[in-house]
A and B are shown apart, each in its own frame.
Chain A
Amino acid sequence: MVTPDKERAAEQAVPHSFKKKRGDNYFMEQKKIFSEPVKYDLTFAREIYRLENGSYIKQCMNCGLCTVSCATRDVMEYPPRQLFNLIKLGKKEEVLTSNTFWSCTSCCTCKARCPRGIPIIDVMHDLKKYAIEYGYTDYPQAAFYKAFWTEMSSRGKMFEGGMTARYFLTRGLDEIVKAMDMKDVGISMLKHGRMPLLPPKKIKGLGGLKKIISKAQELDRKEAAR
């Protein structure tokens, strides 16, 4: 006989993700995204196909393996394959305002598992870049990315304090209030020497690094112009 205890244990053994069905669902019963019929229009898709890894999304076969592999699928508005389908539908606004690519942690599990060899994290990077380029930067992650980038390119290494400051400056006062919730983490990091109080020294060949970056950016622009 199954005792209530055992039952509970069995329930707990079910991975969290199977109990909570957000994002994509794993059993083909679909979340309704649109109440109105949607219409296929490939104009936007063609634009995305032109991104560095954009044309890979053509070969998605809708298997859903990426979704079930994704660590952050529960917070994603659209799991990867649905996002790809939205692109094919021409839902530009929905795609660019979605949190999907911002939620991607670049853990690489999806890329490693995709049977069609789609480098999903690289597609996500392309989409982030595209979104920033077209001003879709409402997400905190977008500000975080920017802060990270400015910090790295000006110092050649990371200074957590500086990055946090930059981030909060862009995000405004509200975020600072929210950030107070995290002060214990910060203090603990300071105590354990995980975060310096003062900015570290810049790296030695910062000039060289800057050159590398600008060369890369130049190549990138050339690529985009093609």
Chain B
Amino acid sequence: MEKKIAVYICTGCGIGDALDIDALSKVAKGEFKVPICKTDGQLCGPEGVALIKQDIENDGVDTVVIAGCSARVNYDVFKFGSDKIVERVNLREQVIWCHTADDEDTQMLAEDYMRMGLVKQKNMNVPEPYHVESFSRNIMVLGGGLTGLTAALESAKAGYSTILVEKEAELGGYVGKMYKQVPMKPPFTDLEENCIPNLVKAVEDAGVKIYKSATVENTAGAPGMFDVTIKQDDGTVQERVGAIVLATGAKPYEADKLGHLGFGKFPNVITQSMFEEMAVAGTPEASKVAFIQCAGSRDQEHLPYCSAACCIESIKQALYVKEKNDEANVYVYYKDIRSNGQYEHFYMKAQQEGVVFVKGDVTEITEEDGKLTIEADDKTMGTTSLADEFDYVVLANGMVPTAALGDLMEEESTTDEAAAACDEPKASTPPIIKANLLNLVYRQGPELPALKYGFPDSHYICFPYETRRTGIYAAGVVRAPMDMLSAVEDGAGAAMKAIQCVEVTEKGEAVHPRSGDMSFPEFNMNRCTQCKRCTEECPFGAINEDEKGNPLPNPSRCRRCGTCMGACPERIISFKNYSVPMVGNMVKAIEMPEEDEEKPRILIFACDNDAIPALDMAGINHMQYNSWVRIIPLRCLGSLNLVWINDAMGRGFDGVLLMGCKHGDDYQCHFMKGSELAEIRLSKISETLDRLGLESERVRATTVSIMDYDKIPAMLDEFAADLEELGPNPMKDFQ
């Protein structure tokens, strides 16, 4: 069906003063023959919106192109139903606010953006949501410790059928076996009774379906349709669930490796969990006890990271000793006391009770007549210090996530012909450790991809719970080392995410960060060469393979980043409203001035997540930069298809700049691998440039975070200056 297009140009916010609106209308009406093109002094006001609604009603307009402010504002005002296409041409933040008013070049920029917007909508269709078959709203929680119980309780309380799977015969996990717990409420100074018994009861009362002594044999499917096979002694059961919370916790670091601290040598050198057991059995009367912090943690030879909970756990256990014997001498040897947040009060409480904190590294532990002596390199006194007559030395031996316990998955050697044929640089594959937790039936491997130290990868700033397997949310100490208070927060947070996932999947929408997006990749399969690149590059393992080696997409696992679209050499992957031809045509819609006009053109592909907001911010702050640039937003740099760059250089663009998020270990890419993949793809472009006789410096990638907006003008102007030095792209005149 032919689209019925209407263009609305807003003249408010100074747009009308800075630009020649008539000329702009002519682009729509003349060049593009748009039947309806109107202007309004304040399009976002009630009258402006009414004007649009009227045309929709009376003239059957189904495609609305609004030239005015950025798509990042007023999106709720310009909402006309999911069956309408709304395209925004950003004349405010990216044109008049950052370029000279009443200027030929600014006008050309605005007109090009109008052309790009009109071409874009031509290539867009209304997305139809994908609905999962035999959809399940159930939520499964793996692990019945503090985090898992909290997650299960929260999800059940919110009205979702919840299933809890626990490996041991009893619920409670590590915390369940504690004598007492660290304070969880103000004033954060007093030991508390163990909360697990009450929590277990609450979970049972809330009607959570509980499997004990159970493990997950395998997890197949996708959000809304996970089929989980649960193994118990007497056979297996299958459950269909919509989303999963992984809360399998951590294990104490192996104390056997701490021989240098006397473990295994002296019976009274024990671990925190051993001391906890003794406390449950009735704390032994002790007159002198020492705790050694960071035993294994923050140590390159053992665990390089801070285990986050052991400082306050030791403080708690020090108070056990004081509780039993007020006169006891208790020492804590530490590097730094990391009593995060409110636990500073707990730390001070222990000091007030007379626990002595010694800042120093323990250098030796010896024993005589069953009493232990500690020698330390005392940092406060700047000398060696001794303390003796200890009944017990307790090692705060840190934690290892259960996700890290297992063998690393071997990378499969690609003997495949098609795959071997494209032996180009590849993105680093994330380590997957066979930890026997989820046993995913995914082509990409059985567990969650890890980032570092075996903790599951997630975007730690914006989406801490969202792992790289959509619909599976990690929480608690399996996700990151943390104390009990944070674990409770994590459990609730992950349950919330699981609920969100179920809700949006049912509607056929994407989860974060493109929440609400109903488009998903579609494959024109008869041209697929089975090169597997889409399968391998999808950061979320959304694409499986069928027996014949064809890609088998799982739309509800998909986060709609478009990485597969950028990867496919055959360009057969597209979304209803985002495709290789769409962006390609936008590039082509930009007018290319002749070389002698001395008007360079710079194409910018900017990521929607950070770069575009940063560019908008630069506009909001009225920062000025050159008007040679033409910006095209991409869902993620991962969706960058090299053909666009080839086209652009062939058409005479003087340079192309990619603006994406930071990658590497502390990446900020919202789709984890997008910007890294884009740069890897970019490394292949120099060959093409050579063929065209162009310098490789003309095509560059840069990283920006939203906070870098103030650096944007310099970034763009520097690039323009460099290009000027290289001279114009000679391809211009071949047009």
Contacts and interface: CB of A to CB of B under 8 A. Distances in A.
B352 interface: yes
B383 A59 contact: no
A67 B384 CA distance: 22
Interface centre among B337, B357, B381, B384, by most A CB within 10 Å? Answer: B381
Contacts of B382: 30-33
Contacts of A86: 381
A162 B352 CA distance: 44
B347 A40 contact: no
Contact of A39 (B356, B357, B388): B388
A28 B379 CA distance: 8
Contact of A88 (B337, B352, B356): B356
Contacts of A36: 383
Given A38-B386, A39-B386, A61-B347, A30 B352 contact: no
A39 B389 CA distance: 11
B356 to A, nearest CB: 6
A116 B358 contact: no
B273 interface: no
A219 to B, nearest CB: 25
Given A59-B351, A61-B351, A116-B348, A38 B357 contact: no
B380 A40 contact: no
B337 A61 contact: yes
Interface in B369-415: 375, 378-388
Contact of B380 (A32, A35, A81, A116): A81
B380 to A, nearest CB: 5
Given A30-B382, A37-B383, A82-B380, A59 B352 contact: yes
Interface string A108-123: 0000000010000000
Contacts of A60: 351
B359 A42 contact: no
Interface in B340-375: 347-348, 351-352, 354, 356-359, 375
Contacts of A214: none
A61 B357 contact: yes
Contacts of B357: 61-62
B381 A85 contact: yes
A34 interface: yes
Interface residues of B, number: 24
A149 B359 CA distance: 40
B226 interface: no
A150 interface: no
B352 A58 contact: yes
Interface centre among B380, B382, B384, B385, by most A CB within 10 Å? Answer: B380
Q: Is the interface of B mostly helix, strand, loop or mixed?
A: strand
Contacts of B550: none
A40 B356 contact: yes
B351 A40 contact: no
Interface in A42-63: 42, 49, 55, 58-62
Interface string A74-111: 00000001100110110000000000000000000000
B329 interface: yes
A89 B352 CA distance: 17
Contacts of B388: 39
Contact of A58 (B351, B375, B378): B351
A58 B385 CA distance: 19
Contacts of B352: 55, 58-59
A89 B381 contact: yes
B487 to A, nearest CB: 25
B331 interface: yes
B347 A38 contact: no
B586 to A, nearest CB: 50
Contacts of A38: 378, 381, 383-386
A33 B382 CA distance: 7
A41 B103 CA distance: 81
Given A61-B357, A81-B380, A82-B381, A37 B351 contact: no
Interface in B641-658: none
Contacts of B358: 40
A41 to B, nearest CB: 9
Contacts of A55: 352
A71 B352 CA distance: 28
Contacts of B331: 40
B354 A58 contact: yes
A31 B378 CA distance: 12
Nearest to B385: A38
B463 to A, nearest CB: 34
A217 B351 CA distance: 31
Nearest to B386: A39
A42 B329 contact: yes
Contacts of A88: 356
Interface centre among B331, B358, B382, B388, by most A CB within 10 Å? Answer: B382
A62 B380 contact: yes
A89 B354 contact: no
A62 B359 CA distance: 8
A73 to B, nearest CB: 16
A139 to B, nearest CB: 23
A62 to B, nearest CB: 6
Contacts of B380: 30, 62, 81-82, 85
A12 to B, nearest CB: 30
Contacts of B379: 28, 30
Contacts of A39: 385-388
Contacts of A32: 382-383
A60 B358 CA distance: 11
Nearest to A56: B352
Contacts of A30: 379-383
Interface centre among A55, A85, A86, by most B CB within 10 Å? Answer: A85
B348 A59 contact: yes
A81 B378 CA distance: 14
A34 B378 CA distance: 11
A221 B378 CA distance: 38
A38 B385 CA distance: 5
Nearest to A41: B387
A106 B712 CA distance: 53
Contacts of A82: 380-381
25 contacts: A30-B382, A30-B383, A31-B382, A32-B383, A33-B382, A34-B383, A37-B384, A38-B378, A38-B383, A38-B385, A39-B387, A40-B356, A40-B385, A55-B352, A58-B354, A60-B351, A61-B337, A61-B357, A62-B359, A82-B381, A85-B380, A85-B381, A86-B381, A89-B385, A116-B348
A-B CB proximity, top 7 nearest: A30-B382, A37-B384, A40-B387, A59-B351, A39-B386, A85-B380, A38-B385
Given A32-B382, A38-B383, A39-B387, 17 more contacts: A28-B379, A32-B383, A33-B381, A34-B383, A35-B383, A37-B386, A38-B378, A39-B388, A42-B329, A58-B352, A59-B348, A62-B359, A62-B380, A81-B380, A82-B380, A86-B381, A88-B356
